[in-house]
Structure 1
């Protein structure tokens, strides 16, 4: 049995008979082509696409897929638009504005077979929080704004006991 052959590749074979120490002549060459690779890459059990938002970007990460030959890359999609193909298991999507986004990643092998997608949805909020202020009793006449340093002293209450 011959092993470790590449899919959809021609190989030439010839054989000879051996009887004890006597070797016969070689047969004519025989051409054999291995079948095409039709096995899709597979994700490990319980795999998930992780999407971590930070400002106007999202860091995507996923586990490595396996394949009977080899995984050649991972296609990264935003909705139905392919953003890129990467060889590793992370990708950072930048330039996002406030909104909801649906990402998916598909593993691809050398024959073009593709895995089922891993998917993740994320909501980006790039709107800064509103500023506020705190006011002190008008008799004191002080206003503390967001970002100001202030010291507030609250004296202990005296409680009379019966």
Structure 2
């Protein structure tokens, strides 16, 4: 059964960079880790990316393997493959959830996204993102509002799904 990340949460970050993963997110991480079993810590991948990325994107092991497979289909030695390998594999960090449901975000990653004492978690389907709350509001929430403002007053975003079926 494929499980999706759902919801948004504000979580406290302590001085050592420890932050609790929302319980529902932990279930998805467990489901997306083929080696996970009761009593074990689920593993996942944090992609921090290049200087333009203002958030951390967290992939289940299965979702990361899907991206890896797509990258491997590109011609070996091509600039596209090399760049994707660098941005996805090189600028990422394997991680795991500890027995208390927390992860440790290294200082390098906290500094990169300007994270202080609160992290904003938002689901994005088969991944979730971790943002500094103020940055999310300034960048992504503003982008979403601007896009919605361009739509008709009675716009229903689910109508976009009709286009995926050729409708």
TM-score by length of 2: 0.26
Please state which structure has a larger fraction of its residues in strand. 1
TM-score by length of 1: 0.26
Please state which structure has a larger fraction of its residues in helix. 2
Q: Which protein has the larger Cα radius of gyration, Structure 1 or Structure 2?
A: 1
Query: More relative contact order in 1 or in 2 (CA 8 Å, sep 6+)?
Result: 2
